[in-house]
Structure formats: C-alpha cells, structure tokens
Amino acid sequence: MDQTDLKILNILQDNARISISELGRMINMTGPAVTERIRKLEEKEVIRSYRAVLSPEKLGKAITAFVIIQVNRCDLFTDFCRRSPDVAEIHQISGQFNFLIKVVTESMQSLERFRRECSEFGFTQTMTVLSTPFDPKGVPLDD
Amino acid sequence: MDQTDLKILNILQDNARISISELGRMINMTGPAVTERIRKLEEKEVIRSYRAVLSPEKLGKAITAFVIIQVNRCDLFTDFCRRSPDVAEIHQISGQFNFLIKVVTESMQSLERFRRECSEFGFTQTMTVLSTPFDPKGVPLDD
DNA sequence: CCTGAAAATAGAACCGC
DNA sequence: GCGGTTCTATTTTCAGG
C-alpha cells in the first residue's frame, strides 16, 4: 500500500467508471500495471465494490430519516431490517439505543408506517432529514 | 423512466464498472442504446456519480460514529464539517438536535478530539458504531 | 513494471421504425 | 422519440521480457 495505490483509490473513489488507460495516464503508469494493482486492492478488499450513486428523490423516495431504537431481540430486528425495502443502512451502536438505521422511503406516511412496525421491537426515536449540506465524502486519503 | 431504465440502474448500482456491452447483453439491448439511456439518466441526475466503496478499517480508519448536535450557528458548523477530514456525512434533522453527522476516524482518541472540537458549536451526543450487520443497500428499485 | 499483438469494447454517424 | 447497424478508434487482456 504505497502512494500509487492511494492515488488509484482516490481516483476510483471519485470516478469508478474511468477507463484503466485514462487512470494510467493520470498517474504515469501502463494499463496492465494499473489493472494488477486494482486486482490486488480488490482481493484484499480495500476496494469493496463499485456503485452508482442514485438520487432517491428522483426515484420516488422523497424522505430520508434516521431511526434509533432500543431493542432486545437483536437478531430478529436485524433480519427485519434486512428484508425491509425502507432500510438503507443499519448500525449497532453504543449507548442507550443499540441500533441506528437509515431509512429511505416514499413519504411521511410510509415513514410513519415503518416507524410503527419498528416499535414492535422496542422504543424508537426518529430524526427526519431536512437537508444534506454536502454529498457523503469517501474515505479521505492523503497521498 | 421505464422498466429498462430501472434494470440498468439496478445493475449499475451493484456493479458500476460493468462494461456497456455486458450490461447490454444482460438486458438484450445493443451498446449504443444502453449508452444513450445512461447518458440521459446522468443528465437528469438520476445517476449522481460512480464511486468505489473502500474499507475504512483497511485504510487506518478504525472508528465510525454518529454524532448528533444542537447548534445555533448552522453555517459555521456546516463549514467546519466540510473541512474536517473526519466528517463523512452531514444531515440537518428535525427534533431537539439539528444535525446528525457520520464520523469516520482513526481511533477513539481522534474521535474524542473531534467531539471536543464539535462541542464548541453546541451540545453533542456520540453514538459509536459497534458493528454494521449489512452493507448499505442502494435505492430499492422494483422492475 | 513494460512491450506488443489480438480480442473486445466504446463512440459516432446513419438508418428505419 | 426509440433502438439497431456499421465502422473506426480506443481499450483491455495476455504473452513474454
């Protein structure tokens, strides 16, 4: 894991669809050398995946919210979240509440429906997202 | 925005580095047709970006936490977050706390340092991530 | 890590529906 | 508008050094 790898990661983090040859040009390296480095970074799972980032609002999901919840049956709740199309992320956390989940859903109605389902598992608190000042950053890498 | 677009989005959401021709094969469409649809989806910003998803832990960022905070000077705080390398995400939220931020940082020490900096802006509460049962899902699209 | 040739792909122009 | 075809330039892959 050297400077070159960090450069590659920084570029792919910003533009996952760049061609290998253009990436190579940017860092003065030939295609095969870049390909091999990327292969190793994928193998070590430094790179986990390549994803297109979509706009939920333009796909009928107007509401984003974070729900924290205090549950007993952790496995059951995790399974419920895995199956729920409204759950985008789930994290087990320290503190009074033991899960924080990110919900992306159609409307306030569907959010409320979801929250009610959740309350079967424990006490919840909902924080609706009003705005997101800037797009999620990737992992900051200094090369 | 039809079934075909949804199929394309689903595929790119899962594998942003797939070749246009393979994508075309998967949905029985020629390359140029796929390219044109993707171009329009990018233009409409249904597709916002293509990103490589990296493992923070494998890049020296062992700790993830969510911090909620009650601030008065919103702009100042947002600028602070924009500049901080520890802030991965920021959301303005409803409720007692008005911001929720996702922090990805080296260690508990650096998290505590960050939290102290934050407390200049207002009352904070930190929820450290213990585990993430499953990787963030994309936007669920039924085609 | 580079080179070089073969295979695959992407992009542009154009056609028909 | 929509997608298909063809042709060319570029890219990717794989062998070998």
Which pLDDT does position B142 carry in this prediction? Answer: 85
Which pLDDT does position B143 carry in this prediction? Answer: 84
Is residue A22's beta carbon less than 7 angstroms from any atom in nucleic acid strand D?
A: yes
| Minimum-distance nucleotide, CA of A19 to C1' | D11
pLDDT digits 0-9 by tens, A68-110: 999 999 999 999 999 999 999 999 999 999 999 999 999 999 9
- Verify that B11 and B35 share a domain, yes or no: yes
Instruction: Classify residue A133: in a domain, yes or no.
Output: no
Q: Which domain holds residue B123?
A: 57-128
Instruction: Classify residue A50: in a domain, yes or no.
Output: no
Q: What are residue B129's DSSP bridge partners? A: A93
Spatial distance between the Cα atoms of A85 and A53, rounded to a whole number of angstroms: 17
Q: Does B102 touch chain A (CB under 8 A)?
A: yes
CA of B39 to C1' of D15 (A): 37
Residues 26-65 of B with CB under 8 A from A: 44-56, 58-59, 61, 64
Among A63, A132, A31, A94, residue whose Cα is nearest residue B78: A132
Instruction: Classify residue B135: in a domain, yes or no.
Output: no
- Verify that A61 and A39 share a domain, yes or no: no
Q: Which residue has the higher pLDDT, A35 or A142?
A: A35
Which pLDDT does position A96 carry in this prediction? Answer: 93
With beta carbons less than 8 A apart as the criterion, state whether A112 and A100 touch. no
| Minimum-distance nucleotide, CA of B34 to C1' | D3
Spatial distance between the Cα atoms of B142 and B136, rounded to a whole number of angstroms: 18
Q: What is the CATH number of the domain that holds A12?
A: 1.10.10.10
pLDDT digits 0-9 by tens, B101-136: 999 999 999 999 999 999 999 999 999 999 999 999
CA of A84 to C1' of D14 (A): 45
Structural domains in chain A (count):
2
Instruction: Classify residue A135: in a domain, yes or no.
Output: no
With beta carbons less than 8 A apart as the criterion, state whether B30 and B20 touch. no
Q: Does B92 touch chain A (CB under 8 A)?
A: yes
If pLDDT is split at 50, 70 and 90, which confidence band does A48 have?
A: very high
Instruction: Classify residue A134: in a domain, yes or no.
Output: no
Contact pairs from chain A to chain B, CB under 8 Å: 194
Is residue B29's beta carbon less than 7 angstroms from any atom in nucleic acid strand D?
A: yes
